[in-house]
Amino acid sequence: MANGVFHTKYGIVINLTFEDLGHRDRPGLLEEITRPVGERERDLLQCLTDYNGGQCECALADKTPWMFVRRQRRASRVVWVAAHLPLTHAATPEESDKHKAMKERIARSASRHGLDVQVEARSADGRVVTDVLVSGAGARVGWEAQYSPISASTVRRRSGRARENGIAPLWVTGDASSSIVDRAPWTRVDDVPWQRIVSPLAMVVRGGVRHLQVWKCTPSSERPCPETGQHCGKFHSGWFLPALCVPQERATALDELVVTSADGEHVAVRVRNSHDPRRTSYLWALAEDVERWRDLTGEADSPPEDQPRDDEPVTFAEEELDSSCRYGHQDGHHFSDPRPRRDMTSATGLHTFDQAPDHPYRSPSRPVQLRRLSARERAVVAAELGCPPWEIGPCMLCAEPIHRYGRSSPLACSSCRATTQVR
């Protein structure tokens, strides 16, 4: 985040680390630049790099050179920072259709299993409107179907308000580069047309649901050492996608997650990177895996980043103005792709133990099972894939029905083949 901006109306440079913003002759300047964007001109504040004619990195991530000012906690201090505004985006008809279809599917799945469902549910204070609120014995889960661009700050703010109202937020998308990934509890499905979303055919969760794995790092291990790349003789644990577990775990279907998240079988976990505590990942996992992970690592629930309260005083450090564009360089990274992929297949929350934990090995908690297809479902899938119904079979990794038994047919579906070596 930048510590300065250019005021396009007054033609002045503002240093946010000074109490008077570097302009003692303008006593109401702070109140003016911190007004909501909807109540002022969108191009009032400009990135200093863009103003000086430099290469503004914000263009690489669907942002504008225009900025807004907000409070942020840094260590124990609350400071003013400037951040880029996203491009104004109106949902396309296709995105709107997918959004409506996903809400319908979630509500239908919950109702079919006897759960309480509210569509477009509004909280008592009117501040939270949830796409689909599913209430079960374990939790009140607020599903948010996100098929159009959204800013990370909006995801965090809406998720925080949901928690304040006793709702567990759960965002679902078909985009691996969406800002919801690891900004709040999330899940990802294949990006398919709205007709496929609303159909009765299964939708497999591709990201956001993981399983705990514990293994000893030996020459015979099927995984390389996450610390050295070679066997170290120690024990490791981490969260893996179902297809990458050893032995392999069964993938979770979206309709299943609708039920298990409300019943408490799946719970949301926020995991910190052991090498960089500032980096965190959100994932959904079986409650028994989460309990075991906490026993192994001693980690408790990690709350979301502490957002500064409105009444907390701001610290002014009076630092030198930094006119460089900080977008895309936070934490030492530079993104050259306009929409970087954030949903990765690598393990997260890795830990290393010198001594063997109790019961390090166990059979898979949710082994792969072949789903039975009715004659009607088999006919629908065969029509979609353009093959005879008797050549329909299960993907060997996620059990999704595919054209399995024809000439040169693959063993796994296209989505699984994209993330593994199976052909």
Complete DSSP assignment for 282-322 = EEEEEHHHHHHHHHHH-----PPP-PPPTTSPPP---PPP-
- What single-letter DSSP state applies at residue 414? H
383: CB partners within 8 A, 6+ apart = none
Q: Which residue has the tokens 């296709």?
A: 94
Distance CA 229, CA 236 (A): 13
Among 82-91, 189-198, 406-415, the range of highest mean pLDDT: 189-198
More confident position, 336 or 315: 315
Q: Give just the sign of the alpha carbon dihedral 45, 51, 55, 59.
A: positive
Lowest-confidence segment of 4-13, 153-162, 246-255, 363-372 by average pLDDT = 363-372
Per-residue pLDDT band for 38 (boundaries 50, 70, 90) equals confident
Q: What is the pLDDT of residue 269?
A: 92
Does the pLDDT of residue 332 top 50, yes or no? no
Q: What is the pLDDT of residue 61?
A: 54
The pLDDT mean for the chain works out to: 82
Lowest-confidence segment of 106-115, 152-161, 193-202, 414-423 by average pLDDT = 414-423
Per-residue pLDDT band for 336 (boundaries 50, 70, 90) equals very low
Q: What is the pLDDT of residue 60?
A: 52
Angle between helices 254-263 and 93-112 (to 10 degrees): 50
Percent of the chain with pLDDT strictly greater than 90: 33
Does the pLDDT of residue 224 top 90, yes or no? no
In order of 1, 7, 303, 354, the CA distances from 234 in angstroms are 40, 57, 30, 5
Number of neighbours of residue 138 by Cβ within 10 angstroms: 16
- Mean pLDDT for 184-189 is 95
* 126 backbone φψ class: left, alpha, beta (φ>0; ψ -120 to 50): left
More confident position, 362 or 405: 405
Tokens of 335: 């993104």
Q: What is the pLDDT of residue 112?
A: 92
Three-class SS of 368-399: CCCCCCCHHHHHHHHHHHCCCHHHEEECCCCC
Q: Give just the sign of the alpha carbon dihedral 310, 133, 254, 386.
A: negative
Predicted TM-score (pTM) of this structure: 0.67
133: CB partners within 8 A, 6+ apart = 117, 118, 119, 121, 140, 141, 142, 143, 167
Contact 207, 188 (CB under 8 A): yes
Q: What is the pLDDT of residue 255?
A: 95
What b/e string do you get for 214-238 counting C-beta neighbours within 10 Å, with b at 16 or more? bebbeeeeeeebbeeeeebebbbbb
Contact 63, 82 (CB under 8 A): no
- Mean pLDDT for 380-388 is 89
Per-residue pLDDT band for 358 (boundaries 50, 70, 90) equals low
Contact 422, 411 (CB under 8 A): yes
